[in-house]
Structure 1
Amino acid sequence: MEPYTLYSLLEVLIQLMNTNVSSKHLFVVLLLVGLATFYFARRRKVHIYLIDFNCFCPPSSYRIPKAMFEENNFFDEMEQEAVDFHSKINAKSGFSDETAIPQSLAQIPKVKALTFALEEAELIMFSAVKDLLQKTKINPKAIDILITNSSIFCPTPCLSTMVVNKFKMRSNIKSFHLSGMGCSAGIIAVSLAKDLLRVHRNSLALIVSTETLSLNWYTGKVPSMLLTNCLFRMGGSAILMSSRVHDKHKAKYELKHIVRTINAYDDQSYACVYQDVDSDNKEGISISKNIVNICGDVLKKNIVSLGPLVLPWREQFLYVISIIYYKLWSRRSTSIYTPKFNKAFEHFCIHSGGRAVIQAIEKNLKLRKQDVEPSQMALYRFGNTSSSSIWYELSYIEAKGRMKCGDRVWQIAFGSGFKCNSAVWKCLGDVKPDIYTAWRDTIHSYPVNILETN
């Protein structure tokens, strides 16, 4: 029974009371209203669980050491100015020699073709999903909802259809593909899954997040477009969510909040990350120099909505008082109080979009070094893997044995538009380090001192 049914019953009751009707009819209506009221009062909230997730670990043969990256660009058909820019950004990237790119882009000359892009997408998605299904012992036919996301690469048939075909999923599965949503598409996919799971109760949802590089490597000389070559690397993740009550005992996390913010009404934010062609008609993604400031602005708006949901009353009170004091009396001599988000969260997964972005958030939110460690290490080991980066970071926390029962996790992701999306999870039990993760061969050597290694 929906809310409008209850309202209709109340309207009928009022009309009956104003007319001459028998007490028998009036009793029936009263009974229906009472039952409806009891139903809504006792209606159980739908809890959304994250059963498990898995991140793709690129084969060692896909590795692109920084020296090889520079050599690859030097011998490619690029002007020296563009090569120098690549080298400069590469030196400051915060990357290790373990990040990976498709083999078609590592060879000389580079080969950009649909065939290679499809091979890359299949390798990442199928590997991540296969390992997740094996780990959770879930039959592919048990999946009710499938959501894939890749911002730039959207072939026909779409990526979600490719997954259905590969794993022979049911014909009535509800499948979706999100494109053009940027690096924050992973949280947008979680938001969509949450809404669908609440409508379709007792269901399982599979999310596959990735981004392909094979067709999107920029071969021109515009610095703002060359940035994408320097930042993005191979990666992907698969996430299994559930609204089934009996999955609580085996789920790792419960979803508490999703907060989404978009600044697309502002022209500067809208054009901050933009797909375009340069003067030589070469396609690429342009990244604005003001991206760090734009990230800060949209993050503030996101926090305004998220803060009241997660922060202790004391932190909220100090924040409100500081705003009042700042606006009424002392705009110049004081600054607005920054809430202590360590009071609300034990762990932070900040989208590893770049070294500067992580450092800016660390400074503005006054976080500790250990709070941004997962983001820095994910960037160092895997590079910017777009929408899947926050899952590599969560995997890092688990692999280090730091996730305990009751711990709260804040995932923050940024994307074109310009968007800032937040997801808040609560750990349902101590998470034991898993040897079958993307960090399985290297976790013992982390954290590393990035300043010394770059």
Structure 2
Amino acid sequence: MNAYITSIATSNPRFKIKQQDVLDFMIRAHQLKGVDADKLRVLYRATGILSRYSVIEDYQSSLVRQFFPDNKKLEPFPSTQERLELFQQEAITLCVEAAKRALTTTRAEQITHLITVSCTGMYAPGIDIELVDRLGLNSHVERTGINFMGCYAAFNAIKVADAICTANKGAKVLVVCVELCSIHFQKKAMDDYMLANALFGDGAAAVVVTGKPVTGVNLKTTSFFSELFRNGHEHMAWKIGNFGFEMRLSSYVPDVIESGVRLLTQKLLDKGGVDKFDYFAIHPGGKRILQVIEKELGISKRENQEAHDILSEYGNMSSPTILFVLKRVMDKFNMEDNGKNLLGLAFGPGLTLESMLLTIESH
């Protein structure tokens, strides 16, 4: 028995910010000059990112001080409480937009289960209850929260939805992922913080998963496989500090992924009973991550183009990012792709590698 992804939709904040503008902001915020400023410029050019989205306008212009204090040191630096107040104010709007766009073949009142995902903010009563009210979901809809699992969390949500739909073919599950990574900017001049500041943006995505396929293109959840690489434990971490959530992202993450991704995907193939992948939806955690995966799996950049395009246009938005990629891949399918297989990959704290085999089923 399987479940089916029947629709995917996305949303972003109103502030679309050029990567060059973020770089200018960071040089000012870190008060960098000379060689140090040049090093940061090299890092930003190497990301492959052209633009990102943020709920904070400050990154867009040196003349704007919407959130951070108007002085060179940005003091008093916003507290965790202030950042989470901004999350509570802004995140729900993105969730509602994505969810409404995803509810195309399924009406809101038909949703039996709601799964919400985030690692960049939390409050209670939370986003799940706000979505019930704003979308007009049934008050008895079954709600599940997946929190603080990072960039691979959408896979966990889809696995939960798969389990629900496998147990009950009449189930209709709405998954909503939202991350406001940009509210957690850290100004300490540490390499891990500098790298995180260069990559992350804001966004939301929603997915409808059902026990039965609908008319059109469906993605059948054929199999999943997860692996935990303890040699990467210290290279990716997400902790709560006094001044926001502190993202630790090491430049060694691609090396850990490189060491294990080939065996991971082979185990997924074996579990799914198939011999090859026809399409790819890979979480663009960074440009080098995409490059090492392409090398290890023997695929071209063109075969993985959607991941590169999402990275370039949006940066890394943590949990919704893989759904942005998956949507772009799914949008190009037609009846001729029926029966073909798609590999999904995402990575996060642990270091965790998640994989997913989806089979295209058109009706």
Q: Same fold (TM over 0.5)?
A: yes
Whole-Å separation in 2 of the counterparts to 1:75 and 1:108: 13
1:257 partner letter: S
Whole-Å separation in 2 of the counterparts to 1:85 and 1:109: 28
Q: Does 1:290 find its partner at 2:256?
A: no
> Structure 2 matches for 1:411-450, cutoff 5 A?
411-429=344-362
Which shifted more, 106-115 or 157-166?
106-115
> Structure 2 matches for 1:14-413, cutoff 5 A?
46-59=1-14, 62-76=15-29, 78-80=31-33, 84-96=38-50, 98-106=51-59, 107-108=64-65, 110-111=67-68, 112=78, 113=82, 114-133=84-103, 135-136=104-105, 138-244=106-212, 247-250=213-216, 252-263=218-229, 266=230, 268-276=231-239, 284-310=246-272, 344-400=276-332, 404-413=337-346
Whole-Å separation in 1 of the counterparts to 2:357 and 2:342: 6
Secondary structure of 2:184 counterpart? coil
Q: Give the alignment's Cα RMSD to 1 decimal.
A: 2.6
Secondary structure of 1:210 counterpart? strand
- Alpha-carbon distance change, 83 to 413 in structure 1, aligned in 2, over 3 angstroms: same
Shift of 1:250: 4.5
Contact kept, 8 Å, 2:278 with 2:342, in 1: the verdict is yes
Show structure 1 runs of 4+ deviating over 6 A: none
Whole-Å separation in 2 of the counterparts to 1:220 and 1:124: 29
1:426 partner letter: T
Secondary structure of 2:238 counterpart? strand
Whole-Å separation in 2 of the counterparts to 1:186 and 1:129: 15
- Alpha-carbon distance change, 169 to 276 in structure 1, aligned in 2, over 3 angstroms: closer
- Alpha-carbon distance change, 171 to 255 in structure 1, aligned in 2, over 3 angstroms: same
Whole-Å separation in 1 of the counterparts to 2:190 and 2:248: 9
String of CA shifts for 1:44-83, please: whole Å, max 9, x gaps: xx33111111122444xx1111221122223336444875
Contact kept, 8 Å, 2:30 with 2:188, in 1: the verdict is no
Secondary structure of 2:52 counterpart? coil
String of CA shifts for 1:396-441, please: whole Å, max 9, x gaps: 23445678222211111111111111111111128xxxxxxxxxxx
Where structure 1 has 5 or more consecutive residues not aligned to the other structure, the ranges are 1-45, 313-342, 431-454
Match of 1:435 in 2: none
Shift of 1:187: 0.7
Contact kept, 8 Å, 1:140 with 1:167, in 2: the verdict is yes
Whole-Å separation in 1 of the counterparts to 2:328 and 2:13: 16
Greater fraction of residues in strand: 2
- Alpha-carbon distance change, 57 to 47 in structure 1, aligned in 2, over 3 angstroms: same
1:218 partner letter: Q
Secondary structure of 1:64 counterpart? strand
Which shifted more, 301-310 or 287-296?
301-310
Contact kept, 8 Å, 2:56 with 2:66, in 1: the verdict is no
Whole-Å separation in 1 of the counterparts to 2:191 and 2:288: 17
1:413 partner letter: A
- Alpha-carbon distance change, 155 to 104 in structure 1, aligned in 2, over 3 angstroms: farther
1:361 partner letter: I
2:201 partner letter: R
Larger Rg: 1
- Alpha-carbon distance change, 82 to 194 in structure 1, aligned in 2, over 3 angstroms: farther
Contact kept, 8 Å, 2:13 with 2:55, in 1: the verdict is no
Greater fraction of residues in helix: 1
2:85 partner letter: T
Whole-Å separation in 2 of the counterparts to 1:69 and 1:406: 43
String of CA shifts for 1:375-411, please: whole Å, max 9, x gaps: 1111111111212222222222344567822221111
Query: Could you say which structure has the greater relative contact order, defined with CA pairs below 8 angstroms and 6 or more residues apart?
Result: 2
Whole-Å separation in 1 of the counterparts to 2:211 and 2:4: 6
Where structure 2 has 5 or more consecutive residues not aligned to the other structure, the ranges are 69-77
Match of 2:72 in 1: none
TM-score normalised to structure 1 length: 0.69
- Alpha-carbon distance change, 48 to 281 in structure 1, aligned in 2, over 3 angstroms: closer
Secondary structure of 1:386 counterpart? coil
Contact kept, 8 Å, 1:76 with 1:109, in 2: the verdict is no
